[in-house]
Structure 1
Amino acid sequence: MIRMRAKMRITNVEKHSAEYETLHFHAVAKDGPYPSDGSDEDNTYAKFSPSGELKLSIANPALIGKFNVGDTFYVDFTPVG
């Protein structure tokens, strides 16, 4: 079974109304060099998935207003079935 994990950071929270917003994510990256010893976890993610975007609209009242620019998440891709 193929599985993949990405590390994504929120770059924009687009508020449409009090009940609906869109989260914009980009793959982690760093301005400048990573440590040569590979100790920065973002280095591994940036090396193997150097770019990526995700846009997720949410309308769950329990989640509206809970996400902020700069929040970072693991996004897991697991096949269904």
Structure 2
Amino acid sequence: METKRMTTMRAKVRVTSIKKYPEEGEATQETLTFNFPAKDGAYPADGSDEDQQFAKFSPAGALSLTIANPALLGKFSVGDTFYLDFKPV
């Protein structure tokens, strides 16, 4: 059976919501929801907007990640934007 290796891929994601657990008291976990950024309205015709370039090839998507690392709790904010790299292991 032939196995094909995926090439490296980069996505751009933006934090769109953060839910803390427990909801009252000190949080011990947070669920971060990320969406692929897109622009409301038109992009420039010359394709110069970076979000436009990502949206062209990955027009929709969402990712949910629950973190429990105390050093990371409270470090993310809605609107934070990240590159997400996929590399074969």
Q: Would you call these one fold, judging by a TM-score over 0.5?
A: yes
Unaligned 5+ residue runs, structure 2? Answer: none
For 1:33-48, what aligned pairs fall within 5 Å after superposition? 33-48=42-57
Q: How far apart are residue 38 of structure 1 and its match?
A: 1.1
Unaligned 5+ residue runs, structure 1? Answer: none
What is the number of equivalent residue pairs in this alignment?
80
Q: CA RMSD in A?
A: 0.9
Residue 24 of structure 1 is matched in structure 2 by: 33
Deviations 1:16-41 (A, max 9, x none): 13110000000011100101111110
C-alpha separation in 1, matches of 2:44 and 2:21: 40
C-alpha separation in 2, matches of 1:3 and 1:52: 18
Greater fraction strand: 1
C-alpha separation in 2, matches of 1:54 and 1:48: 17
The answer to whether structure 1 residue 58 and structure 2 residue 63 are counterparts is no
TM-score (norm 1): 0.94
C-alpha separation in 2, matches of 1:58 and 1:4: 23
| Secondary structure of 2:85's aligned partner | strand
TM-score (norm 2): 0.86
